[in-house]
Amino acid sequence: MSCLNDDRRIGLKIPYLATHVKQTRHELDTAVLARSVYRYRYFGIDVAAKTGLSPEAVAATVALEEKYRAIAGS
């Protein structure tokens, strides 16, 4: 279904990786475990927010943005 209005849109990319996959360029990436057991510890663990815009969720978002800027540049 195409969007036929001029309202803003949000894009979302969710890559699913096997737990044995390892980032080789840096050690800053984080992930949320969707299922199974995570034995490898190649990624930092993201914790899902319990409520929208809670202080913890906002702080986690700021920290992730800082990590992203460190990886990708401003």
In eight-state DSSP terms, residue 46 is: P
20 belongs to a structural domain: yes
Confidence band for 1, pLDDT divided at 50, 70 and 90:
low
pTM, whole model, 2 decimals?
Answer: 0.54
Q: Which residue has the tokens 């949000």?
A: 10
pLDDT digits over 18-67, tens only? 888 898 888 878 888 888 788 898 888 887 777 878 888 888 889 888 98
Count Cα neighbours of 9 within 13 Å in the Cβ-side half-sphere: 7
A 10 A CB-CB count for 43 gives 19
57 belongs to a structural domain: yes
Contact 16/53 with Cβ under 8 angstroms?
A: no
40 belongs to a structural domain: yes
Please give the tally of structural domains in the chain: 1
pLDDT digits over 2-21, tens only? 667 888 777 777 888 888 88
Find the domain containing 15 and state its range. Answer: 8-74
CA distances from 52 to 8, 9, 56, 70 (A): 20, 19, 10, 25
Specify the pLDDT at position 2: 64
2 belongs to a structural domain: no
Specify the pLDDT at position 74: 59
